[in-house]
Amino acid sequence: MAIDLQQIGKRFRFYTNLKELEMEDLKAMTGSDEETLSHIIYGRNIVLDELVTIIKNFKDLNPQWLIYGEGSMFKPMDENGNCHDHQKGCLKKDKAAYLKQMKDMLIELDAAEVAKGHKPDIDALKAKLDQLKATE
């Protein structure tokens, strides 16, 4: 399976937006400079070693999803239901705002995948989000 740097960038941006992480947060959490982080966020000139080093700092981020778009964005919670991200905690947004942002970002990711001729399970994810929204 080929690695698409632009898709990695979009997924990483999706994750950091969802977690409400600004560039200063990313620099502090990873110890990386702004140029390296910008290259990853915008999907250009990514050095694999730098990407791996950065991924290690996000305990809840599923690297398989980030790199290949497979599986869930987040690693499973532990058996106690605890969030893996001890530095930032769990999501700060209310559920409705979170679901709306997720849906908007899924639409953006879906458009990018369709433009490349891929048809992932985005429709299934959208249906789950609609289901969650309906249960509020």
Q: Residue 4 — very low, low, confident or very high, per pLDDT cuts 50/70/90?
A: confident
Is the pLDDT assigned to residue 50 strictly greater than 60? yes
Question: Where residue 57 sits, what CATH number does that domain have?
Answer: 1.10.260.40
Is residue 32 located within the same domain as residue 16?
Answer: yes
Could you tell me which of 69, 54, 70 has the C-alpha nearest to residue 6?
69
How many CB atoms sit inside 10 A of residue 17's CB? 12
**Is the same domain home to 84 and 97?**
no
pLDDT of residue 85 exceeding 50, the answer is no
Same domain for 120 and 71? no
Q: Are 26 and 69 members of one domain?
A: yes
Separation CA 35–CA 99 (nearest Å) = 31
Instruction: Please report which confidence band the pLDDT of residue 47 belongs to, taking 50, 70 and 90 as the band edges.
Output: confident
Structurally, the chain folds into a number of domains equal to 2
**Among 43-47, 100-104, 108-112, 128-132, the range of highest mean pLDDT:** 43-47
Same domain, 97 and 79: no
Q: Between residues 21 and 83, which one has the greater pLDDT?
A: 21
Domain that holds residue 17: 1-91
Residues 42 and 103 reside in one and the same domain: no
**In this structure, are 49 and 110 located in the same domain?**
no
80 shares its domain with 111: no
pLDDT at 83: 52
In terms of Cβ atoms closer than 10 Å to its own Cβ (0-12, 13-18, 19+), residue 54 is buried
pLDDT band at 99 (very low <50, low <70, confident <90, very high): low
**Domain co-membership, 56 together with 75:** yes
pLDDT at 2: 63
